[in-house]
């Protein structure tokens, strides 16, 4: 159960920022005894890997705070964040290997399940983030982009450390994220309903 919560927290964090949970895993594995990546995932603690992740994170942090650029970045991250989520969940939940030498054995062993779960979780969170950001940009004339991005980055950092150090806190964080998302949808629906009434056209239902 704790391993599942750890993987869930890391994959969710990857949906907000692909590189933060991978950096946290790698850094803690390299310089502390708090985490020992399972066989096949030791490369996350490699110095060159950490350096590349740090550079990518710096680029992501800057791009995600510029209105307009953040939306382009979200399109690119549609592939990157789910992949990072799969890696993070696999490493965090003790999936045995990230290298498939025998596809048939890999499928039969079920070792692919944590990776797929991580991909799906990160993709769902990324989709929610990418949906919210344009609305925030329009509503605040772009001023909200850096604020929203900073909150997302901080949440990703918090989730990553919570997933590793106190997995039960992941449940609290996930409930909080769901509540925020539901409130955003409700507010957006009320706004569209009000706009429809003013224009005289029927409101458009959200998918």
In a domain, 67, yes or no: yes
* Over residues 172-183, mean pLDDT: 87
pTM assigned to the model: 0.81
In a domain, 83, yes or no: yes
For residue 182, the surrounding DSSP H or E stretch is helix 168-199
pLDDT digits (tens, 9 = 90+) for 61-115: 999 999 989 999 999 999 999 999 999 988 876 544 444 444 444 445 556 678 8
Instruction: Return mean pLDDT, the chain.
Output: 83
Q: Which residue has the tokens 């991580």?
A: 118
CB atoms near residue 150 (< 10 Å): 13
For position 101, what pLDDT does the model report?
Answer: 44
In a domain, 205, yes or no: no
Answer yes or no: are the C-beta atoms of 20 and 13 closer than 8 Å: yes
* Over residues 14-35, mean pLDDT: 92
Share of the chain above pLDDT 90, in %: 44
Query: Which residue range(s) make up the domain with 113?
Result: 2-169
Q: Give the residue among 100, 78, 113 at the shortest CA–CA distance from 7.
A: 113
Q: Lowest mean pLDDT: which of 21-35, 75-89, 191-205?
A: 191-205
In a domain, 18, yes or no: yes
What is the number of domains present in the chain?
Answer: 1
In a domain, 196, yes or no: no
Q: Which residue has the higher pLDDT, 22 or 196?
A: 22
For position 61, what pLDDT does the model report?
Answer: 94
In a domain, 145, yes or no: yes
For position 193, what pLDDT does the model report?
Answer: 65
CA dihedral 87, 91, 97, 100 (to 10 degrees): -10
For position 191, what pLDDT does the model report?
Answer: 64
Share of the chain above pLDDT 70, in %: 81
In a domain, 125, yes or no: yes
In a domain, 184, yes or no: no
Q: What is the Cα–Cα distance from 91 to 151, expressed in whole angstroms?
A: 25
* Over residues 114-118, mean pLDDT: 86
């Amino acid at each position: 159960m704790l391993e599942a919560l750890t993987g869930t927290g890391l994959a969710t964090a990857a949906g907000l920022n692909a590189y933060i949970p991978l950096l946290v895993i790698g850094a803690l594995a390299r310089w502390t005894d708090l985490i020992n990546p399972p066989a096949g995932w030791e490369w996350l603690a490699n110095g060159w890997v950490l350096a590349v992740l740090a550079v990518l994170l710096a680029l992501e942090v800057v791009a995600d705070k510029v209105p307009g650029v953040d939306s382009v970045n979200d399109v690119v991250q549609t592939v990157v964040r789910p992949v990072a989520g799969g890696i993070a969940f696999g490493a965090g939940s003790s999936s045995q290997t990230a290298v498939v030498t025998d596809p048939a054995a890999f499928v039969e062993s079920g070792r692919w399940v944590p990776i797929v779960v991580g991909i799906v979780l990160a993709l769902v969170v990324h989709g929610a983030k990418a949906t919210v950001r344009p609305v925030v940009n329009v509503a605040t004339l772009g001023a909200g982009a850096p604020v929203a991005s900073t909150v997302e980055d901080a949440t990703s950092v918090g989730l990553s450390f919570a997933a590793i150090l106190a997995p039960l806190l992941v449940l609290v964080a996930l409930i909080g994220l769901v509540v925020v998302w539901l409130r955003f949808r409700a507010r957006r629906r009320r706004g569209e309903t009000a706009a429809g009434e003013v224009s005289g056209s029927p409101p458009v239902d959200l998918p």
